[in-house]
Amino acid sequence: MTMQDSPDRDAAVGDAATPRSFPMARRCPYAPPPEYAELRARGPLVRVQVPSGAVIWVVTRHAEAQQVLTDPRISTDTSRPDFPVLGKREHSEYEQVMRTKLHEGSFIDMDAPEHDIYRRMLITEFTVRRINQLRPGIQQTADQLIDDMLAGGASADLVEAFGLPLPSLVICQLLGVPYADREYFQSRTRRMLASSDDPRGAYEAIMEIRDYLDDLVRRATRDPGDNLIGRLLRGPVAAGELSHNALVNMTFLLLVAGHETTANMIPLGVFTLLRNPDQLAGLRADPTGWPGAVEELLRYLSVVDWVAFDRMAIEDVEIGGQLLRAGDGVFVLGASANRDERVFANADELEVGRGARHHVAFGYGIHQCLGQNLARAELEIAYRTLFERIPDLRTDEPDEALSFKYGGGIFGMNSFPVSW
């Protein structure tokens, strides 16, 4: 394959004279934007234009996605002055705070070795062994939520009654955040992720969550509890290895990421299985298939797409036969890579027995999701327990009557009425 340089960049989009506009909206609850298939056919890297007017690369295929997510010449450091953004860049209070006060400790937005320092402080909290120790508590939480649903009648909103509270309860207990405050941080998280059209509103929501956590950490400093915040206070903070500001930002990251993605996956996965009753029947008959079904649902639904996979080339680098120049913006389309026919046969079909653990729903490389073991445990327990305890669970609503987060940064369902 011949490497293409800057004079041919616009030709990288195929025959089109002008790059396609990005982002592209999902229109179906089961599938990424239909344009992704066209982009994959054009090439592994394609140029698109974002609302700011900038032209960036999007990565459409699985192999190249893994390359981009592991190449040290491609940065995830959002504090870099020219890091790609969707909207128009303004040198405002919003920009300055996001690049300074919120950056320290937010290790997903850092490159090695700085990233590794913070991640090592947390890794023991999310090992398979540690998560296995948490499983009985997760199971108890799931059972209690289902008890409450059954006691409330013969119908419920699965988002509010089960999908959102399960991961929220778990992450609050793990971190040491009072679950009684859930409405405060959940409402602001929704505002933060609802749309990219309101950067000021997103900024205000972020700062309100952060101010809440700042106060929480200050109070915990006086009496550290038996939770993650307490252990970090007694360990790295006491040793002078972790600042108060960094701890607040790490807690912010874990709290938001620890409930929002799983909270969207639980109802959406249930909805998808109800729409595929033959595959659900197979899982009922053989519950040992649930771990594999979780991997396939993660691949198939890809609720986190490009939002978590924004990057910038900091050196010239060739990926997929294309030359990325230092300073080029790069977005990995996770939902497209997870539908790459070169890796997943019948990629547009749900096959719960596929064994799709090599998906990139959790990312890849050093930035692969720290909480993936926790998310897997929560999803497996949630799906299995729900369908075991409510075998006649159903939804009577057609797809078009249901409310999905088509405009949000993370895909999911706004509500999901079910009955039994």
| pLDDT class of 294 with cuts at 50, 70, 90 | very high
Q: Mean of the pLDDT values across residues 359-382?
A: 96
Q: Could you report how far apart the first and last alpha carbons of the chain are, in Å?
A: 56
* Torsion angles phi and psi, residue 234, rounded to 5: -75, -25
Model confidence over 64-110: pLDDT tens digits? 999 999 999 999 998 888 888 877 655 455 556 666 678 899 999 99
Is residue 248 included in any domain, yes or no? yes
CA 169 to chain centre: 18
What's the rounded Cα separation, in Å, for the pair 332 and 361? 11
Q: Mean of the pLDDT values across residues 354-374?
A: 94
Beta bridge partners of 46: 58
> How many CA atoms lie within 13 Å of 60's alpha carbon, on the beta-carbon side?
23
- CA 36 to each of CA 18, 26, 84, 257, 356: distance values in angstroms, whole numbers, following the listed order: 17, 10, 20, 25, 20
Contact in structure between 36 and 30 (CB atoms under 8 Å): no
What's the rounded Cα separation, in Å, for the pair 61 and 37? 10
Beta bridge partners of 21: 49
Check residues 409 and 383 and name the one with the higher pLDDT. Answer: 383
pLDDT of residue 93: 54
Q: What percentage of the chain has pLDDT greater than the value 70?
A: 91
Contact in structure between 221 and 215 (CB atoms under 8 Å): no
pLDDT over threshold 60, residue 285: yes
What's the rounded Cα separation, in Å, for the pair 310 and 76? 7
pLDDT of residue 91: 44
Structurally, the chain folds into a number of domains equal to 1
Q: Mean of the pLDDT values across residues 6-31?
A: 68
> Range with the lowest mean pLDDT among 35-49, 200-214, 381-395?
200-214
| pLDDT class of 149 with cuts at 50, 70, 90 | very high
pLDDT of residue 84: 87
Question: Residue 411's closest CA among 256, 193, 205, 197?
Answer: 193
Q: Mean of the pLDDT values across residues 152-163?
A: 97
Model confidence over 224-282: pLDDT tens digits? 999 999 999 999 999 999 999 999 999 999 998 888 899 999 999 999 999 999 999 99
CATH code of residue 18: 1.10.630.10
Spell out a b/e string for 399-411, using b for 16 or more CB atoms within 10 Å of the CB, else e: eeebebbeebbbb
| CA angle, 97 then 102 then 107, to 5° | 145
Contact in structure between 80 and 353 (CB atoms under 8 Å): no
Backbone torsion region of residue 193, taken as left when φ is above 0, otherwise alpha when ψ lies between -120 and 50, otherwise beta: alpha
Q: What percentage of the chain has pLDDT greater than the value 90?
A: 78
pLDDT of residue 86: 78
pLDDT over threshold 90, residue 344: yes
46's CB contacts (< 8 A; 6+ apart) are 12, 13, 14, 19, 20, 39, 57, 58, 60
What's the rounded Cα separation, in Å, for the pair 348 and 358? 16
DSSP string, 150-186: HHT-SEEEHIIIIITHHHHHHHHHHHT--GGGHHHHH
Range of the domain at 304: 6-419
Contact in structure between 263 and 168 (CB atoms under 8 Å): yes
pLDDT of residue 20: 92
> Range with the lowest mean pLDDT among 82-86, 109-113, 146-150, 344-348?
82-86
Structure tokens at 137: 């508590």
Q: How many CB atoms lie within 10 A of CB 78?
A: 19
Judged by DSSP in three states, 395 sits in: coil
Is residue 277 included in any domain, yes or no? yes
What's the rounded Cα separation, in Å, for the pair 20 and 202? 26
Q: Which of 82-86, 338-342, 403-407 has maximum average pLDDT?
A: 338-342
> Range with the lowest mean pLDDT among 3-17, 51-65, 136-150, 364-378?
3-17
pLDDT over threshold 50, residue 13: no
What's the full length of the chain, in residues? Answer: 420
Is residue 1 included in any domain, yes or no? no
pLDDT of residue 396: 87
What's the rounded Cα separation, in Å, for the pair 13 and 278? 40
pLDDT of residue 1: 34
Contact in structure between 340 and 346 (CB atoms under 8 Å): no
Judged by DSSP in three states, 75 sits in: strand
What's the rounded Cα separation, in Å, for the pair 21 and 55? 9
Mean pLDDT across the chain: 90
| CA angle, 31 then 381 then 123, to 5° | 90
| pLDDT class of 4 with cuts at 50, 70, 90 | very low
What's the rounded Cα separation, in Å, for the pair 278 and 221? 53
Judged by DSSP in three states, 21 sits in: strand
pLDDT of residue 200: 75
Is residue 112 included in any domain, yes or no? yes
Q: Mean of the pLDDT values across residues 9-23?
A: 61
